[in-house]
Amino acid sequence: DAKTTQPNSMESNEEEPVHLPCNHSTISGTDYIHWYRQLPSQGPEYVIHGLTSNVNNRMASLAIAEDRKSSTLILHRATLRDAAVYYCISSYGKLTFGQGTILTVHP
């Protein structure tokens, strides 16, 4: 699995957009870009994934750089329930979790 690099933590205010960056400079052509989030004492929750094109779903948007070496998860309007650890993973097959980004949302 390709290694990813994410900031250790980020902060946001409620109802503001949040852009969570991820670098995956060693990504291979068949690797998907996955985003999961995890609350304390819970299993990870699937957020979004993509391969080459930008993706939107009800939870978030995923913007993938043209060279695929980086991506950004966009939460359009952060809520307190979005506070979690966000994991960016580039892989095909097995998922290798890094330390993720701890997102804090202030009311």
Partner 1 sequence: GAVVSQHPSRVICKSGTSVKIECRSLDFQATTMFWYRQFPKQSLMLMATSNEGSKATYEQGVEKDKFLINHASLTLSTLTVTSAHPEDSSFYICSARDDGRSTDTQYFGPGTRLTVL
- Tell me the C-alpha distance between 80 and 95, whole Å: 27
Look up residue 37 and give its two tokens: 């989030």
Residue from 8, 41, 66, 107 in contact with partner 1 (CB under 8 A): 41
Look up residue 54 and give its two tokens: 């930008």
- Tell me the C-alpha distance between 39 and 11, whole Å: 16
Q: How far is the CB of 4 from partner 1 (least distance, A)?
A: 12
Residue from 18, 24, 27, 44 in contact with partner 1 (CB under 8 A): 44
> Under a CB-based contact definition with an 8 Å cutoff, are residues 62 and 71 in contact?
yes
In what side-by-side order are the strands of the sheet with 101-106?
9-13, 101-106, 84-91, 32-38, 45-50
Q: How far is the CB of 62 from partner 1 (least distance, A)?
A: 13
Q: How far is the CB of 70 from partner 1 (least distance, A)?
A: 20
Query: Among the candidate windows 13-21, 65-73, 76-84, 90-98, which touches partner 1 by CB under 8 A?
Result: 90-98
Per-position x/- string for 19-38, each x denoting binding to partner 1 as judged by CB under 8 A, each - no binding:
-------------x-x-x--
Contact residues: partner 1, CB under 8 A: 32, 34, 36, 41-46, 49, 51, 87, 91-100
